[in-house]
Amino acid sequence: MRSTTSGMVVATLAAACLAIPTASAQQQGPVTRESNVQKVQPSPEAKERLGQEIALSEVPPKVMQTAQRELKVAVTRAEKMMVYTQPVYELTGQDATGQELKVKVNDDGTVMPSGTERR
């Protein structure tokens, strides 16, 4: 009977210890990933590499002619980006069904190896 009573006391104490939250757990509060996130603005060089929308009038005629020949639709949007220090233009148009078409053209008028995309 004595061993049963001491076993119950030990079990009760263990349960009480597990049920009591520690002071450090109460002070920490919830951990969020957002507290470690920094918002960084890209440099002008990075923006140029990523591509920026430009006016259609800024696209060189040779590039525009190639894009219209490849897309077979009117160009509605243009982006200029840098690829290995070479200007590249991504030109976009829409076909009759509303499907978006894109082509990437070097500034010398040649189509980039990625070719024409349908989205």
pLDDT digits 0-9 by tens, 26-53: 555 555 555 556 666 666 666 556 779 9
Domain boundaries, the chain: 2-36, 44-118
pLDDT greater than 90 at residue 62: yes
User: Residue for token digits 């009760």?
Assistant: 12
Determine the Cα–Cα distance for residues 54 and 90; give it in Å rounded to an integer.
10
User: Residue for token digits 């006016």?
Assistant: 55
Q: Which two tokens stand for residue 68?
A: 């219209």
pLDDT greater than 70 at residue 88: yes
User: Residue for token digits 């001491």?
Assistant: 6
Label residue 115 by pLDDT band (50, 70, 90).
low
E strands, 1-119, in order: 52-54, 75-83, 86-94, 100-106, 111-118
Q: Domain 44-118: give its CATH code.
A: 3.10.450.360
Q: What is the mean pLDDT of residues 11-31?
A: 55
CA atoms within 13 A on the CB side of 16: 6
3-state per-residue secondary structure call for 28-88: HCCCCCHHHCCCCCCCHHHHHHHCEEECHHHCCHHHHHHHHHHHCCCEEEEEEEEECCEEE
What 8-state DSSP symbol labels residue 43?
P
